[in-house]
Structure 1
Amino acid sequence: MAAFAILKLVLVISLFHFSSAARNLAETSDQNQMQFQYHNGPLLTGKLSVNLIWYGRFTPSQRAIVSDFLTSLSKPTSDQPSVATWWKSIEKYYHLSKKPTSSLALSLGTQVLDENYSLGKSLTSRQIQQLASKGAQNYGINVVLTSSDVLVDGFCMNSCGTHGSSNGGSQIRGSKTNKFAYIWVGNSETQCPGQCAWPFHQPIYGPQSPPLVTPNNDVGLDGMVINLASLLAGTVTNPFGNGYFQSPKDAPLEASSACPGVYGQGSYPGYAGDLLVDPTTGASYNAHGSNGKKYLLPALYDPSTSTCSTLV
């Protein structure tokens, strides 16, 4: 019962970092009885561009935080641990699938700025798909990023972001139909930082430990990177709902969301783990990126050991 209570508390604190959008505590309370497994569906393979649709107002420095993170996925740095090292662990999923798949390589693709809120400041899930399908047509994964003044159905109430697939737009290899993969992540700086930007903001539930200092001096964007990283891991390993995940299928735990609230060794409810700290700024991080950037990235579930793997 003690272990169950701890697990339940972790899930409450980290509910909004799940890759799947509509989980609630009742659905996940017995997750320890479910098995993380491969469901024999396609994984994303080949060279994929990650295309960004910036919806609303973002400063150039904010856009650089995300674009440098994506560039870092395939660009190892001399400083370790790195974003590229974190992403390389995804290869284990491909090796264990026992399918003749090619390797996966992500790169930063097209960036589209929609600063005039073409669909208004209150968006439905259907409109998110519309933006994803029309905003960037390059072959790859289309990512919609909404600014802090944009309301999205379910945002803060049960999700910080989602990933999925839809017909039309850019086709993804491995799909028998004309489907494309997309991701949406919202900026929670003013709407719900305690839900979507933890541990850079005090959580609304659980232990009230002081928030960590952000590595890029932006609570909203550093929180977006955490959620984007989690969703990218879920997208490539479970793009169409029949890849790697832990049941139930309609609200799965995926490569990153299976390790809620874990960022470093020794993590526990309300504590992100033992992290690296910048001696000058006091910022907490666990990965080095391009252009001197530092990031905090979520742990990834290691399917070969059935444990949550961290960089530090």
Structure 2
Amino acid sequence: MAPSVPPIPATLLALSLLAILSLATAYRPWPSTHPNATDLALAGSKKFEGSSDFVHLRYHMGPVLTNNITVHIIWYGTWQKPQKKIIREFISSISASPAASDPTRRRSTVAGWWKTVQLYTDQTGSNISRSVALGQEKNDRFYSHGKSLTRLSIQSVIKSAVTAKSQPLPINPKSGLYLLLTSDDVYVQDFCGQVCGFHYFTFPSIVGYTLPYAWVGNSAKLCPGVCAYPFAVPAYMPQLKPAKSPNGDAGVDGMVSVIAHEIAELASNPLANAWYAGQDPSFPVEIADLCEGIYGTGGGGSYTGQMLEGRDGATYNMNGIRRRYLVQWVWNHVVNYCTGPNALDQ
């Protein structure tokens, strides 16, 4: 993809606008009370982590991110320094080598989780890049577009970040990922009711470039039981006890898994024409959607699977460079089921 993209024809733009307004590329860590077709198809499988009899993930010949990936973050709203640090260190952990002095951190790592994502290739046979680096950051602490955002106004926030007069984010269509993170006092269209995060690509007519991006919101005040499970539980399931979050911030620890979900799908389907199941690119089932809510062996339905518990009682399933995280598994198209570095059969 060239750094500068020619204008989109009016008819294509109209279709694109319709797609983003009804886009289903989203993530909810707690399974919906209204199961979708994939839930129903897999419900009877002995190994709910997946079944080649039901899942038809296909490659649609579009690009994947084979160049070294750089994640540029837009911090929208009010963020505390410790919250930013948790997320920065997670992104930095994706490509990190485990500490040789600490054998426990060589097992079940975030980098091990990314190895499944790396298995996906483009039409030349090139794999998704092993390298995922933290890029430049932009603070939008004054809520430049208000505290209630639509899917389209999210693209306007990104435009403001890449065209700012002071320290704009670099424009890197080939290997840049633009991650818009909204603080816990910001509402985004469909947040909590339908989505906890989503990804797509920006329109040249709005931003000036075609850039892969994702939005993820902090649900701590609005809907922690929906988007920060299992560190918070749904109100309609009072019998469940919330798990202790590994970094002491349920909202941000919940965000980490959603961020991971969206980055994995952006890498494997950045322009909605690469790896997904289903016939409609506007409503794709992608490599993380297939494993929604699964964090360990045996996961499926409302069961997260076998996770790890620290000496402090915190629940997690992966080690980062300095922290522990709970990260959703992703679909492995080689073995045709969901996998993660904490699988019991590895």
Distance (Å, rounded) in 1 between the aligned partners of 2:35 and 2:60: 24
1:274–1:83 Cα change, 3 Å: same
Larger radius of gyration: 2
**Does the 8 Å contact 1:200/1:212 carry over to 2?**
yes
Which sits farther off after the overlay, 127-136 or 188-197?
Answer: 127-136
**Does the 8 Å contact 1:110/1:138 carry over to 2?**
no
Distance (Å, rounded) in 2 between the aligned partners of 1:93 and 1:155: 29
Instruction: Choose the corresponding residue for 1:194, options 221, 225, 231.
Output: 225
Q: Does 1:115 align with 2:141?
A: yes
Amino acid at match of 2:192: C
The CA deviation string for residues 41-94 of structure 1, in whole angstroms up to 9 with x for no partner, is: 111121221000000111000000110001111112231211111112212112
Which sits farther off after the overlay, 177-186 or 70-79?
Answer: 177-186
Q: Which runs of 5+ in 1 are unaligned?
A: 1-13, 19-23, 172-176
1:163 is matched with 199
Which sits farther off after the overlay, 268-277 or 281-290?
Answer: 268-277
CA-CA distance at 1:310 after TM superposition = 2.1
2:159 is matched with 133
Greater strand share, structure number: 1
2:314 is matched with 283
CA-CA distance at 1:167 after TM superposition = 2.9
Matches within 5 A, 1:1-312: 16-17=28-29, 25-26=35-36, 28=38, 33=54, 35-78=56-99, 79=105, 80-94=107-121, 97-101=122-126, 104=129, 105-135=131-161, 136-139=169-172, 140-168=176-204, 178-204=209-235, 208-249=239-280, 250-279=282-311, 281-290=312-321, 292-312=322-342
Identity of aligned residues (%): 34
CA-CA distance at 1:103 after TM superposition = 5.0
1:270–1:146 Cα change, 3 Å: same
CA-CA distance at 1:219 after TM superposition = 0.7
CA-CA distance at 1:133 after TM superposition = 3.1
CA-CA distance at 1:125 after TM superposition = 1.0
1:30–1:38 Cα change, 3 Å: farther
CA-CA distance at 1:155 after TM superposition = 0.5
Q: Indicate the SS of the match to 1:164.
A: strand
TM-score by length of 2: 0.76
Distance (Å, rounded) in 2 between the aligned partners of 1:305 and 1:34: 12
CA-CA distance at 1:269 after TM superposition = 3.3
Amino acid at match of 2:227: C
CA-CA distance at 1:194 after TM superposition = 1.1
The CA deviation string for residues 115-162 of structure 1, in whole angstroms up to 9 with x for no partner, is: 111111111111111112332334211110000100111111110011
Distance (Å, rounded) in 2 between the aligned partners of 1:222 and 1:75: 19
Q: Indicate the SS of the match to 2:202.
A: strand
Q: Indicate the SS of the match to 1:46.
A: coil
1:211–1:271 Cα change, 3 Å: farther
**Does the 8 Å contact 1:163/1:231 carry over to 2?**
yes
Q: Indicate the SS of the match to 2:211.
A: strand
CA-CA distance at 1:311 after TM superposition = 2.0
Distance (Å, rounded) in 1 between the aligned partners of 2:225 and 2:216: 16
Amino acid at match of 2:299: S
**Does the 8 Å contact 1:200/1:223 carry over to 2?**
yes
Q: Indicate the SS of the match to 1:134.
A: helix
CA RMSD after TM alignment: 2.5
**Does the 8 Å contact 2:119/2:127 carry over to 1?**
no
1:3 is matched with none
**Does the 8 Å contact 1:109/1:138 carry over to 2?**
no
The CA deviation string for residues 20-60 of structure 1, in whole angstroms up to 9 with x for no partner, is: xxxx7456555555512111211112122100000011100
The CA deviation string for residues 169-226 of structure 1, in whole angstroms up to 9 with x for no partner, is: 9x9xxxxx94110000000011111111111111356694322110111111011101
2:17 is matched with none
TM-score by length of 1: 0.84
Amino acid at match of 1:82: T
Which sits farther off after the overlay, 60-69 or 81-90?
Answer: 81-90
